[in-house]
Amino acid sequence: MTEFQLDGKFQQISIDPTAHVELGQDVTLRSFVCLEVGNGATLKLGNRVFFNINCSIHCGYHIEIGKDTMFGDGVRIFDSNHQYSNYHVEKIAFNYGKISIGKNCWIGANVVILKGVTIGDNVIIGAGAVIHKDIPSNSIVVSKEELIIKERPQLEHHVFTLTASDTLENLTYLVENLPEVSFHIAAKTNVSDRLEAFKKYENVTLYTNVHHDDIIEDLLDQSEIYLDINHWDQVDSIVDRAFEKGKPVFAFDNVAHRTELGGSVFSYQKPEMMVGEIQRRLFGYAVDIVN
């Protein structure tokens, strides 16, 4: 790999040892450029690629830029974004998409290029545009942006679980039979694929790497019922804290913690009983479930 041509001062370059970087001749970074290439990521820059002052390139997955492409002041390139739900934005969990930018392009000042975008050859993009879809070769892009405001729908009723285990007793049954209840599941670490799979349900929100106690307190305050359904031990005395806040605690008999404090305990072989009681508590009725 050849070296960057540094023109000016205060460039910030961070390349993970596991990253793969292919650098053409005379790639220039002017003052205050920030370039980050993350763990296992790939960055390919062709000959004479030029980044003007205050550009930032955040490569967490894969970015390719063809030769003789120029970037104006303050261009931002992101091949990832934070995972989010209607309730929560993850701090260190991301979605990724490859960015490909062709040769002989001119990207104007303060353009933002987002993940998953392909920009063809010989493209000019006017200042301030946000590029979130593919641009064909031999194009000029002029931004006439409107603010589009979308709602993040919130359900009325909430339950909460803090876990160090990826096994939450009868979670699938509860989620599928209580579609009008929002399930908030927090962990102090990354979670396994087993729990990640629950993101397919619109009424499930996962909170990973939660290290700040005020976030746990907010989730407890928001919830109407604490679900003591995780295998292994309770985390950070969370069941005790739920009782201290006067929250109803519902548990299955094979995983219940701190039963001496009270709460409602149901047979893990009859999850419909817990569903019915949640419906009565939150909605004032119970629906018969046919298995």
Per-residue pLDDT of the chain (291 residues; tens, 9 = 90+): 578 999 999 999 999 999 999 999 999 999 999 999 999 999 999 999 999 999 999 999 999 999 999 999 999 999 999 999 999 999 999 999 999 999 999 999 999 999 999 999 999 999 999 999 999 999 999 988 776 778 889 999 999 999 999 999 999 999 999 999 999 999 999 999 999 999 999 999 999 999 999 999 999 999 999 999 999 999 999 999 999 999 999 999 999 999 999 999 999 999 999 999 999 999 998 776 655
Residue range 5-141 in CATH 2.120.10.30:
no
Q: Are 123 and 111 in contact (CB under 8 A)?
A: no
211 is catalytic: no
pLDDT of residue 144: 81
Question: Which position among 58, 82, 212, 257 bears the catalytic label?
Answer: 82
Counts for the chain of helices (H) and strands (E), in that order:
5, 26
* Token couple for 18: 């596991």
Work out whether strand 80-84 and strand 89-96 pair parallel, antiparallel, or are unpaired: antiparallel
pLDDT of residue 69: 98
* Token couple for 62: 């894969």
Q: Are 270 and 173 in contact (CB under 8 A)?
A: no
CATH architecture of 157-283: 3-Layer(aba) Sandwich (3.40)
Neighbours of 166 (CB within 10 A): 16
CATH 3.40.50.2000 segments of the chain: 157-283
- CA–CA distance, 249 with 241 (Å, rounded to integer): 10
CATH 2.160.10.10 segments of the chain: 5-141
pLDDT of residue 115: 99
